[in-house]
Amino acid sequence: MLIMKAGNPLKSKIEALIVPVCEDKNIYVDKEIIDIITSVKKLKEFSGKASDEIILYDLPGVSAKRVIFAGLGKIGEVNAETLRILAGQIVKKCIGKELKRIAFITPDSKKLKIDFQVVGKSILEGACLGNFIFDKYISDKKSKILEKIELFVDAKDLKKNKGLDLQVETICSGAHLAREWVSNPSNAKTPEKYVETLKDVFKNSDIKYSVLKEDKLKKMGCGALLSVAKGSSSSAFIAIADYNPKNAKKTIALVGKGVTFDAGGLDLKSAEGMRTMKCDMAGSATGGATLHAIGILKPDIRVIGIMPIVENMPSGDALRPGDIVQSLCGKTIEIGNTDAEGRLILADALSYTEKNYKPDVIIDVATLTGACVVALGEKIAGVFSYNEKLAQKIVKSGTNTGERCWQMPMPDDYKKLLKSEFADISNMASGKWGGSITAALFLSEFVNNKNWAHIDIAGPAFSMKPGEYCTPGGTGFGVRLLCDYLIG
Ligand code: BES
Ligand code: ZN
Ligand code: ZN
Protein backbone atom coordinates (compact mmCIF):
# COMPACT_ATOMS: atom_id res chain seq x y z
CA MET A 1 0.00 0.00 0.00
CA LEU A 2 1.24 3.43 -0.97
CA ILE A 3 0.25 6.37 1.21
CA MET A 4 1.07 10.05 1.05
CA LYS A 5 0.64 11.80 4.41
CA ALA A 6 1.42 14.95 6.34
CA GLY A 7 2.83 15.09 9.88
CA ASN A 8 6.16 14.86 11.60
CA PRO A 9 8.19 12.02 10.08
CA LEU A 10 10.58 12.03 13.02
CA LYS A 11 7.72 10.99 15.30
CA SER A 12 6.55 8.12 13.11
CA LYS A 13 7.01 4.71 14.74
CA ILE A 14 8.13 2.73 11.71
CA GLU A 15 10.85 0.27 10.85
CA ALA A 16 12.78 2.60 8.57
CA LEU A 17 12.67 6.28 7.74
CA ILE A 18 14.34 7.19 4.45
CA VAL A 19 15.98 10.59 4.08
CA PRO A 20 17.20 11.56 0.59
CA VAL A 21 20.24 13.83 0.87
CA CYS A 22 22.08 15.98 -1.69
CA GLU A 23 25.84 16.09 -1.77
CA ASP A 24 26.24 19.85 -2.23
CA LYS A 25 23.06 21.55 -0.93
CA ASN A 26 20.51 21.32 1.82
CA ILE A 27 17.13 20.29 0.41
CA TYR A 28 14.94 20.57 3.53
CA VAL A 29 13.21 23.35 5.46
CA ASP A 30 12.65 21.57 8.78
CA LYS A 31 15.40 22.57 11.21
CA GLU A 32 15.46 19.25 13.06
CA ILE A 33 15.94 17.31 9.84
CA ILE A 34 18.63 19.72 8.64
CA ASP A 35 20.50 19.30 11.94
CA ILE A 36 20.42 15.51 11.75
CA ILE A 37 21.72 15.56 8.17
CA THR A 38 24.46 18.03 9.09
CA SER A 39 25.74 15.74 11.83
CA VAL A 40 25.52 12.64 9.62
CA LYS A 41 27.49 14.41 6.90
CA LYS A 42 30.31 14.90 9.40
CA LEU A 43 30.86 11.14 9.23
CA LYS A 44 33.37 10.12 6.58
CA GLU A 45 31.16 7.25 5.38
CA PHE A 46 28.42 9.44 3.96
CA SER A 47 28.54 12.53 1.78
CA GLY A 48 25.25 12.34 -0.16
CA LYS A 49 26.81 11.23 -3.44
CA ALA A 50 24.45 9.29 -5.73
CA SER A 51 23.96 5.73 -4.36
CA ASP A 52 25.72 6.68 -1.10
CA GLU A 53 23.92 5.23 1.87
CA ILE A 54 24.23 4.99 5.62
CA ILE A 55 21.90 3.40 8.16
CA LEU A 56 21.78 4.69 11.73
CA TYR A 57 19.80 2.92 14.42
CA ASP A 58 17.91 4.39 17.39
CA LEU A 59 18.79 8.01 16.62
CA PRO A 60 17.86 10.35 19.50
CA GLY A 61 14.73 12.37 18.66
CA VAL A 62 13.66 9.91 15.96
CA SER A 63 10.93 7.35 16.60
CA ALA A 64 11.81 5.13 13.62
CA LYS A 65 13.97 2.10 14.44
CA ARG A 66 16.45 3.06 11.75
CA VAL A 67 17.08 6.03 9.50
CA ILE A 68 18.45 5.35 6.05
CA PHE A 69 20.20 8.37 4.57
CA ALA A 70 20.31 7.97 0.81
CA GLY A 71 22.51 10.02 -1.51
CA LEU A 72 20.94 11.92 -4.40
CA GLY A 73 24.19 13.42 -5.75
CA LYS A 74 24.48 17.08 -6.74
CA ILE A 75 21.30 19.14 -6.59
CA GLY A 76 21.63 20.13 -10.26
CA GLU A 77 21.57 16.47 -11.27
CA VAL A 78 18.36 15.60 -9.43
CA ASN A 79 15.42 14.81 -11.71
CA ALA A 80 12.38 12.54 -11.86
CA GLU A 81 14.44 9.50 -12.82
CA THR A 82 17.14 9.95 -10.13
CA LEU A 83 14.32 10.19 -7.57
CA ARG A 84 12.68 7.02 -8.93
CA ILE A 85 16.01 5.20 -8.84
CA LEU A 86 16.75 6.27 -5.27
CA ALA A 87 13.33 5.17 -4.04
CA GLY A 88 13.38 1.91 -6.00
CA GLN A 89 16.83 0.92 -4.79
CA ILE A 90 16.00 1.65 -1.17
CA VAL A 91 12.80 -0.39 -1.37
CA LYS A 92 14.72 -3.32 -2.87
CA LYS A 93 17.21 -3.08 0.03
CA CYS A 94 14.40 -2.96 2.59
CA ILE A 95 12.81 -6.07 1.03
CA GLY A 96 16.19 -7.76 1.51
CA LYS A 97 16.14 -6.73 5.18
CA GLU A 98 12.66 -8.28 5.55
CA LEU A 99 11.08 -4.99 6.59
CA LYS A 100 7.33 -4.41 6.32
CA ARG A 101 6.68 -0.73 6.75
CA ILE A 102 8.89 2.17 5.74
CA ALA A 103 8.47 5.89 5.08
CA PHE A 104 10.23 8.42 2.88
CA ILE A 105 10.69 12.08 3.69
CA THR A 106 10.06 14.31 0.67
CA PRO A 107 12.73 16.93 -0.01
CA ASP A 108 11.47 20.50 -0.47
CA SER A 109 10.42 20.91 -4.09
CA LYS A 110 11.26 24.65 -4.13
CA LYS A 111 14.80 23.93 -2.99
CA LEU A 112 15.11 21.24 -5.66
CA LYS A 113 13.53 23.62 -8.21
CA ILE A 114 11.28 20.77 -9.37
CA ASP A 115 7.46 20.80 -9.11
CA PHE A 116 6.09 18.93 -6.11
CA GLN A 117 3.91 16.91 -8.52
CA VAL A 118 7.09 15.52 -10.07
CA VAL A 119 9.06 15.05 -6.82
CA GLY A 120 6.24 13.29 -4.98
CA LYS A 121 5.11 11.25 -7.96
CA SER A 122 8.62 10.06 -8.81
CA ILE A 123 9.43 8.89 -5.28
CA LEU A 124 6.08 7.10 -5.08
CA GLU A 125 6.64 5.50 -8.49
CA GLY A 126 10.19 4.35 -7.81
CA ALA A 127 9.14 2.92 -4.45
CA CYS A 128 6.11 1.12 -5.86
CA LEU A 129 7.97 -0.22 -8.91
CA GLY A 130 10.80 -1.47 -6.70
CA ASN A 131 8.31 -3.25 -4.44
CA PHE A 132 7.92 -6.26 -6.73
CA ILE A 133 9.11 -9.86 -6.68
CA PHE A 134 8.40 -12.57 -9.27
CA ASP A 135 8.76 -15.80 -7.28
CA LYS A 136 5.72 -17.73 -8.47
CA TYR A 137 7.85 -20.76 -9.35
CA ILE A 138 10.37 -20.62 -6.48
CA SER A 139 9.62 -23.26 -3.83
CA ASP A 140 11.60 -21.62 -1.07
CA LYS A 141 10.27 -18.06 -1.18
CA LYS A 142 12.92 -16.02 0.56
CA SER A 143 11.55 -12.51 0.62
CA LYS A 144 8.25 -10.70 0.76
CA ILE A 145 7.34 -7.32 -0.65
CA LEU A 146 6.81 -4.42 1.76
CA GLU A 147 3.29 -4.08 3.14
CA LYS A 148 3.17 -0.32 3.45
CA ILE A 149 5.20 2.52 2.01
CA GLU A 150 4.50 6.05 3.21
CA LEU A 151 5.64 9.38 1.87
CA PHE A 152 5.71 12.32 4.25
CA VAL A 153 4.82 15.54 2.47
CA ASP A 154 3.95 19.09 3.37
CA ALA A 155 0.28 19.50 4.44
CA LYS A 156 -0.36 22.03 1.62
CA ASP A 157 1.09 19.72 -1.02
CA LEU A 158 -1.01 16.88 0.33
CA LYS A 159 -4.18 18.93 -0.03
CA LYS A 160 -3.32 20.02 -3.56
CA ASN A 161 -2.41 16.51 -4.71
CA LYS A 162 -5.14 14.39 -3.21
CA GLY A 163 -5.32 10.96 -4.77
CA LEU A 164 -1.83 11.08 -6.28
CA ASP A 165 -0.75 8.07 -4.18
CA LEU A 166 -3.70 5.97 -5.35
CA GLN A 167 -3.19 7.00 -8.96
CA VAL A 168 0.50 6.04 -8.86
CA GLU A 169 -0.29 2.77 -7.13
CA THR A 170 -2.94 1.89 -9.73
CA ILE A 171 -0.63 2.60 -12.67
CA CYS A 172 2.33 0.80 -11.09
CA SER A 173 0.21 -2.23 -10.28
CA GLY A 174 -0.56 -2.25 -14.02
CA ALA A 175 3.18 -2.35 -14.66
CA HIS A 176 3.46 -5.20 -12.13
CA LEU A 177 0.75 -7.14 -13.98
CA ALA A 178 2.57 -6.72 -17.29
CA ARG A 179 5.83 -7.84 -15.65
CA GLU A 180 4.15 -10.97 -14.29
CA TRP A 181 2.61 -11.90 -17.62
CA VAL A 182 5.84 -11.34 -19.52
CA SER A 183 7.97 -13.21 -16.95
CA ASN A 184 5.54 -16.11 -16.85
CA PRO A 185 6.97 -19.01 -18.93
CA SER A 186 5.39 -19.86 -22.29
CA ASN A 187 4.17 -23.27 -21.09
CA ALA A 188 2.04 -21.44 -18.51
CA LYS A 189 0.72 -18.87 -21.00
CA THR A 190 -0.23 -20.77 -24.13
CA PRO A 191 -2.73 -18.65 -26.11
CA GLU A 192 -5.60 -20.64 -24.53
CA LYS A 193 -4.30 -19.99 -21.02
CA TYR A 194 -3.32 -16.39 -21.68
CA VAL A 195 -6.81 -15.35 -22.86
CA GLU A 196 -8.17 -16.86 -19.61
CA THR A 197 -5.63 -14.98 -17.50
CA LEU A 198 -6.76 -11.76 -19.16
CA LYS A 199 -10.39 -12.69 -18.54
CA ASP A 200 -9.70 -13.05 -14.80
CA VAL A 201 -8.16 -9.60 -14.68
CA PHE A 202 -11.18 -7.89 -16.22
CA LYS A 203 -13.71 -9.79 -14.12
CA ASN A 204 -15.62 -7.42 -11.81
CA SER A 205 -14.35 -4.36 -13.64
CA ASP A 206 -15.93 -1.71 -15.83
CA ILE A 207 -14.27 -3.31 -18.82
CA LYS A 208 -16.04 -5.51 -21.31
CA TYR A 209 -13.81 -8.39 -22.23
CA SER A 210 -14.39 -10.65 -25.22
CA VAL A 211 -12.40 -13.15 -27.23
CA LEU A 212 -12.60 -13.89 -30.97
CA LYS A 213 -11.85 -17.58 -31.52
CA GLU A 214 -10.46 -19.33 -34.56
CA ASP A 215 -13.77 -20.13 -36.28
CA LYS A 216 -14.79 -16.46 -36.12
CA LEU A 217 -11.35 -15.31 -37.26
CA LYS A 218 -11.60 -17.71 -40.21
CA LYS A 219 -15.05 -16.45 -41.16
CA MET A 220 -13.82 -12.86 -40.98
CA GLY A 221 -10.83 -13.63 -43.19
CA CYS A 222 -7.91 -13.05 -40.80
CA GLY A 223 -5.58 -15.10 -42.98
CA ALA A 224 -2.40 -13.37 -41.84
CA LEU A 225 -3.08 -13.87 -38.13
CA LEU A 226 -4.20 -17.48 -38.59
CA SER A 227 -1.18 -18.38 -40.71
CA VAL A 228 1.18 -17.71 -37.80
CA ALA A 229 -0.67 -20.09 -35.48
CA LYS A 230 -0.60 -22.97 -37.99
CA GLY A 231 2.61 -24.51 -36.66
CA SER A 232 1.46 -24.45 -33.06
CA SER A 233 -0.83 -26.90 -31.28
CA SER A 234 -2.50 -23.80 -29.81
CA SER A 235 -5.09 -21.69 -31.66
CA ALA A 236 -5.13 -18.04 -32.61
CA PHE A 237 -7.24 -15.51 -30.72
CA ILE A 238 -8.02 -11.83 -30.64
CA ALA A 239 -8.71 -10.70 -27.08
CA ILE A 240 -10.56 -7.39 -26.71
CA ALA A 241 -10.83 -5.26 -23.59
CA ASP A 242 -13.19 -2.33 -24.02
CA TYR A 243 -13.46 0.55 -21.55
CA ASN A 244 -16.37 2.58 -22.86
CA PRO A 245 -17.66 5.22 -20.41
CA LYS A 246 -20.94 7.04 -21.13
CA ASN A 247 -19.28 10.44 -21.38
CA ALA A 248 -16.45 9.32 -23.69
CA LYS A 249 -15.02 12.26 -25.65
CA LYS A 250 -12.90 10.16 -28.04
CA THR A 251 -11.79 6.62 -28.73
CA ILE A 252 -8.23 5.41 -28.48
CA ALA A 253 -7.26 1.88 -29.51
CA LEU A 254 -4.18 0.11 -28.15
CA VAL A 255 -3.16 -2.86 -30.30
CA GLY A 256 -0.58 -5.18 -28.72
CA LYS A 257 1.47 -8.03 -30.22
CA GLY A 258 0.74 -11.19 -28.26
CA VAL A 259 3.08 -13.95 -29.45
CA THR A 260 3.26 -16.17 -26.37
CA PHE A 261 6.40 -17.81 -27.72
CA ASP A 262 8.34 -16.93 -30.85
CA ALA A 263 10.43 -19.90 -31.98
CA GLY A 264 10.65 -18.26 -35.40
CA GLY A 265 8.51 -20.92 -37.10
CA LEU A 266 10.22 -22.90 -39.89
CA ASP A 267 12.74 -20.04 -40.09
CA LEU A 268 13.77 -21.28 -36.67
CA LYS A 269 15.62 -18.92 -34.37
CA SER A 270 19.00 -19.85 -32.90
CA ALA A 271 19.08 -21.28 -29.37
CA GLU A 272 20.30 -17.94 -28.09
CA GLY A 273 17.78 -15.93 -30.08
CA MET A 274 14.93 -18.05 -28.76
CA ARG A 275 15.92 -18.02 -25.10
CA THR A 276 14.01 -14.85 -24.18
CA MET A 277 11.15 -15.23 -26.64
CA LYS A 278 8.55 -15.76 -23.93
CA CYS A 279 8.67 -11.96 -23.90
CA ASP A 280 7.13 -11.70 -27.37
CA MET A 281 3.66 -11.03 -25.98
CA ALA A 282 4.88 -7.94 -24.11
CA GLY A 283 2.96 -5.57 -26.40
CA SER A 284 -0.31 -7.29 -25.50
CA ALA A 285 0.69 -7.31 -21.82
CA THR A 286 1.29 -3.57 -22.01
CA GLY A 287 -2.09 -3.04 -23.68
CA GLY A 288 -3.97 -5.33 -21.30
CA ALA A 289 -2.34 -3.95 -18.17
CA THR A 290 -2.91 -0.36 -19.31
CA LEU A 291 -6.59 -1.17 -19.75
CA HIS A 292 -6.69 -2.64 -16.27
CA ALA A 293 -5.32 0.63 -14.85
CA ILE A 294 -7.66 2.72 -17.05
CA GLY A 295 -10.65 0.71 -15.77
CA ILE A 296 -9.81 1.90 -12.27
CA LEU A 297 -8.78 5.47 -13.10
CA LYS A 298 -11.88 5.99 -15.27
CA PRO A 299 -10.97 8.84 -17.63
CA ASP A 300 -13.61 10.31 -20.00
CA ILE A 301 -12.26 8.50 -23.04
CA ARG A 302 -13.05 5.17 -24.60
CA VAL A 303 -9.95 2.97 -24.55
CA ILE A 304 -9.91 -0.36 -26.33
CA GLY A 305 -7.18 -2.97 -26.02
CA ILE A 306 -6.97 -5.28 -29.04
CA MET A 307 -4.64 -8.20 -28.47
CA PRO A 308 -3.92 -10.72 -31.25
CA ILE A 309 -2.61 -13.81 -29.46
CA VAL A 310 -0.75 -16.74 -31.08
CA GLU A 311 2.30 -18.96 -30.68
CA ASN A 312 4.90 -19.12 -33.48
CA MET A 313 6.21 -22.69 -33.75
CA PRO A 314 7.68 -24.98 -36.42
CA SER A 315 5.84 -28.18 -37.33
CA GLY A 316 4.58 -30.21 -40.29
CA ASP A 317 1.58 -27.87 -40.42
CA ALA A 318 3.57 -24.68 -40.10
CA LEU A 319 3.52 -21.69 -42.41
CA ARG A 320 6.27 -21.98 -45.05
CA PRO A 321 8.57 -19.38 -46.56
CA GLY A 322 7.11 -18.63 -49.99
CA ASP A 323 3.51 -19.21 -48.86
CA ILE A 324 1.05 -16.48 -49.75
CA VAL A 325 -1.68 -15.56 -47.28
CA GLN A 326 -4.58 -13.16 -47.57
CA SER A 327 -4.99 -10.60 -44.83
CA LEU A 328 -8.26 -9.27 -43.43
CA CYS A 329 -8.15 -6.13 -45.57
CA GLY A 330 -7.76 -8.26 -48.69
CA LYS A 331 -4.07 -7.61 -49.40
CA THR A 332 -2.03 -10.71 -50.13
CA ILE A 333 1.26 -11.24 -48.31
CA GLU A 334 4.17 -13.39 -49.45
CA ILE A 335 5.99 -14.97 -46.52
CA GLY A 336 9.65 -14.05 -46.92
CA ASN A 337 10.45 -15.19 -43.40
CA THR A 338 8.22 -16.99 -40.89
CA ASP A 339 10.07 -15.24 -38.06
CA ALA A 340 8.60 -11.89 -39.18
CA GLU A 341 5.30 -13.02 -37.63
CA GLY A 342 4.54 -10.01 -35.46
CA ARG A 343 3.68 -7.81 -38.44
CA LEU A 344 1.37 -10.52 -39.79
CA ILE A 345 -0.77 -10.72 -36.68
CA LEU A 346 -0.71 -6.94 -36.26
CA ALA A 347 -1.77 -6.41 -39.89
CA ASP A 348 -5.07 -8.21 -39.25
CA ALA A 349 -5.50 -6.77 -35.76
CA LEU A 350 -5.02 -3.23 -37.10
CA SER A 351 -7.53 -3.78 -39.94
CA TYR A 352 -10.01 -5.27 -37.47
CA THR A 353 -9.57 -2.33 -35.10
CA GLU A 354 -10.11 0.31 -37.78
CA LYS A 355 -13.09 -1.42 -39.32
CA ASN A 356 -14.95 -2.20 -36.10
CA TYR A 357 -14.16 0.74 -33.81
CA LYS A 358 -13.16 3.65 -36.07
CA PRO A 359 -10.92 5.00 -33.30
CA ASP A 360 -9.65 8.58 -33.25
CA VAL A 361 -6.16 7.32 -32.46
CA ILE A 362 -4.53 3.89 -32.87
CA ILE A 363 -1.30 3.01 -31.09
CA ASP A 364 0.25 -0.41 -31.55
CA VAL A 365 2.88 -1.74 -29.18
CA ALA A 366 5.08 -4.67 -30.14
CA THR A 367 8.36 -6.47 -29.54
CA LEU A 368 8.62 -6.30 -33.30
CA THR A 369 12.25 -6.29 -34.42
CA GLY A 370 15.75 -7.15 -33.29
CA ALA A 371 16.80 -4.29 -35.56
CA CYS A 372 15.16 -1.80 -33.18
CA VAL A 373 17.33 -3.15 -30.35
CA VAL A 374 20.40 -2.71 -32.58
CA ALA A 375 19.35 0.88 -33.31
CA LEU A 376 18.29 2.05 -29.84
CA GLY A 377 19.62 -0.49 -27.34
CA GLU A 378 17.81 -2.17 -24.49
CA LYS A 379 16.36 0.86 -22.76
CA ILE A 380 14.74 2.92 -25.50
CA ALA A 381 11.68 2.18 -27.62
CA GLY A 382 11.26 3.28 -31.25
CA VAL A 383 8.23 5.40 -32.19
CA PHE A 384 7.01 5.45 -35.77
CA SER A 385 4.23 7.66 -37.07
CA TYR A 386 3.24 9.85 -40.01
CA ASN A 387 1.61 12.12 -37.46
CA GLU A 388 4.37 14.29 -36.05
CA LYS A 389 2.24 15.60 -33.18
CA LEU A 390 1.22 12.12 -32.07
CA ALA A 391 4.81 10.86 -32.19
CA GLN A 392 6.01 13.87 -30.20
CA LYS A 393 3.27 13.38 -27.63
CA ILE A 394 4.39 9.78 -27.10
CA VAL A 395 8.05 10.83 -26.89
CA LYS A 396 7.04 13.48 -24.31
CA SER A 397 5.24 10.83 -22.24
CA GLY A 398 8.46 8.82 -22.43
CA THR A 399 10.39 11.74 -20.95
CA ASN A 400 7.78 12.22 -18.22
CA THR A 401 7.81 8.57 -17.16
CA GLY A 402 11.44 7.59 -17.80
CA GLU A 403 10.17 5.02 -20.33
CA ARG A 404 12.24 6.57 -23.06
CA CYS A 405 11.12 6.68 -26.67
CA TRP A 406 12.89 7.91 -29.80
CA GLN A 407 11.11 8.91 -32.95
CA MET A 408 12.25 6.97 -36.01
CA PRO A 409 11.78 7.92 -39.67
CA MET A 410 9.18 6.46 -42.07
CA PRO A 411 10.85 7.09 -45.46
CA ASP A 412 8.49 6.39 -48.34
CA ASP A 413 11.21 5.17 -50.67
CA TYR A 414 12.10 2.28 -48.30
CA LYS A 415 8.68 0.80 -49.08
CA LYS A 416 10.05 -0.67 -52.29
CA LEU A 417 12.15 -3.03 -50.16
CA LEU A 418 8.88 -4.82 -49.28
CA LYS A 419 7.96 -5.52 -52.91
CA SER A 420 6.99 -9.08 -53.77
CA GLU A 421 7.06 -10.68 -57.24
CA PHE A 422 4.06 -12.86 -56.44
CA ALA A 423 1.88 -11.05 -53.90
CA ASP A 424 0.85 -7.50 -52.96
CA ILE A 425 3.61 -7.24 -50.36
CA SER A 426 6.35 -9.34 -48.70
CA ASN A 427 6.64 -9.65 -44.93
CA MET A 428 10.44 -9.51 -45.27
CA ALA A 429 12.46 -6.62 -46.63
CA SER A 430 14.86 -7.38 -49.45
CA GLY A 431 17.75 -5.42 -47.90
CA LYS A 432 19.59 -6.27 -44.73
CA TRP A 433 19.41 -2.90 -43.01
CA GLY A 434 16.79 -0.69 -41.41
CA GLY A 435 14.68 -3.66 -40.28
CA SER A 436 12.68 -1.75 -37.67
CA ILE A 437 11.76 0.88 -40.28
CA THR A 438 10.68 -1.59 -42.95
CA ALA A 439 8.62 -3.45 -40.30
CA ALA A 440 6.83 -0.17 -39.45
CA LEU A 441 6.32 0.57 -43.15
CA PHE A 442 4.80 -2.90 -43.57
CA LEU A 443 2.30 -2.15 -40.78
CA SER A 444 1.47 1.21 -42.35
CA GLU A 445 0.11 -0.66 -45.38
CA PHE A 446 -2.67 -2.00 -43.17
CA VAL A 447 -3.75 1.27 -41.51
CA ASN A 448 -5.67 4.13 -43.12
CA ASN A 449 -6.06 6.22 -39.99
CA LYS A 450 -3.68 9.19 -40.05
CA ASN A 451 -3.53 9.16 -36.25
CA TRP A 452 -1.64 5.91 -35.96
CA ALA A 453 1.64 5.29 -34.16
CA HIS A 454 3.70 2.14 -33.75
CA ILE A 455 5.95 1.62 -30.73
CA ASP A 456 8.66 -1.05 -31.04
CA ILE A 457 9.51 -2.21 -27.51
CA ALA A 458 11.77 -5.16 -28.48
CA GLY A 459 14.63 -3.61 -26.46
CA PRO A 460 13.09 -2.41 -23.20
CA ALA A 461 10.29 -5.00 -22.68
CA PHE A 462 12.48 -7.64 -21.08
CA SER A 463 15.84 -7.86 -19.35
CA MET A 464 17.82 -10.70 -17.82
CA LYS A 465 19.68 -8.11 -15.74
CA PRO A 466 17.97 -6.35 -12.83
CA GLY A 467 17.11 -2.72 -13.47
CA GLU A 468 17.31 0.04 -10.88
CA TYR A 469 13.69 -0.43 -9.90
CA CYS A 470 12.99 -3.71 -11.61
CA THR A 471 13.86 -7.38 -11.14
CA PRO A 472 15.11 -9.54 -14.05
CA GLY A 473 12.34 -10.56 -16.49
CA GLY A 474 9.48 -8.47 -17.86
CA THR A 475 9.96 -4.77 -17.15
CA GLY A 476 6.35 -3.59 -17.56
CA PHE A 477 7.68 -1.02 -20.04
CA GLY A 478 4.90 0.90 -21.75
CA VAL A 479 2.19 0.82 -19.11
CA ARG A 480 3.26 4.06 -17.43
CA LEU A 481 4.06 5.52 -20.85
CA LEU A 482 0.58 4.82 -22.23
CA CYS A 483 -1.17 5.89 -19.02
CA ASP A 484 0.71 9.19 -19.18
CA TYR A 485 -0.28 9.55 -22.84
CA LEU A 486 -3.91 8.77 -22.07
CA ILE A 487 -4.51 10.73 -18.87
CA GLY A 488 -1.46 13.07 -18.71
N1 BES B 1 10.07 -11.26 -31.79
C2 BES B 1 11.03 -10.92 -32.73
C3 BES B 1 11.72 -9.59 -32.44
C4 BES B 1 12.52 -9.49 -31.16
C5 BES B 1 13.90 -9.61 -31.18
C6 BES B 1 11.90 -9.18 -29.97
C7 BES B 1 14.62 -9.46 -30.00
C8 BES B 1 12.62 -9.06 -28.80
C9 BES B 1 13.98 -9.18 -28.82
C10 BES B 1 10.41 -10.82 -34.14
O11 BES B 1 9.30 -11.60 -34.35
C12 BES B 1 11.45 -11.26 -35.11
O13 BES B 1 11.85 -12.38 -35.03
N14 BES B 1 11.84 -10.38 -36.00
C15 BES B 1 12.84 -10.66 -36.98
C16 BES B 1 12.37 -10.09 -38.29
C17 BES B 1 13.15 -10.54 -39.48
C18 BES B 1 13.00 -12.02 -39.70
C19 BES B 1 12.68 -9.77 -40.69
C20 BES B 1 14.13 -10.01 -36.51
O21 BES B 1 14.07 -8.95 -35.88
O22 BES B 1 15.18 -10.59 -36.73
ZN1 ZN C 1 9.76 -13.59 -34.97
ZN1 ZN D 1 8.15 -12.06 -32.66
66 is catalytic: no
**Does any ligand 1 atom lie closer than 6 A to the CB of residue 334?**
no
Q: Of the residues 189, 343, 393, 404, which is catalytic?
A: 343
Residue nearest to atom 5 of ligand 1 (CA): 370
Q: Average pLDDT of 433-461?
A: 98
269 is catalytic: yes
Task: Compute the distance from residue 232 Cα to the ligand 2 centre, in Å.
Answer: 14
Which one of the ligands is nearest to 435 CA? Answer: 1
Counting ligand 1 atoms within 8 A of each CB, the residue from 228, 267, 369 with the most, and so the one to mutate, is 369
Task: Give the whole-number percent of the chain exceeding pLDDT 90.
Answer: 99
Q: Give per-residue pLDDT as tens, 205-262.
A: 999 999 999 999 999 999 999 999 999 999 999 999 999 999 999 999 999 999 999 9
What amino acid occupies position 288? G
Check whether 488 has a pLDDT greater than 90.
no
Q: Give per-residue pLDDT as tens, 128-148.
A: 999 999 999 999 998 999 999
**Does any ligand 1 atom lie closer than 6 A to the CB of residue 262?**
yes
Query: What mean pLDDT is reported for the chain?
Result: 98
Q: Give per-residue pLDDT as tens, 339-353.
A: 999 999 999 999 999
Task: Compute the distance from residue 238 Cα to the ligand 1 centre, in Å.
Answer: 21
**Does any ligand 1 atom lie closer than 6 A to the CB of residue 280?**
yes
- pLDDT at position 187: 98
**Does any ligand 1 atom lie closer than 6 A to the CB of residue 459?**
no
Check whether 337 has a pLDDT greater than 90.
yes
Q: Give per-residue pLDDT as tens, 94-126.
A: 999 999 999 999 999 999 999 999 999 999 999
**Does any ligand 1 atom lie closer than 6 A to the CB of residue 370?**
yes
pTM for this predicted structure: 0.98
Q: Give per-residue pLDDT as tens, 357-410.
A: 999 999 999 999 999 999 999 999 999 999 999 999 999 999 999 999 999 999
**Does any ligand 1 atom lie closer than 6 A to the CB of residue 337?**
yes
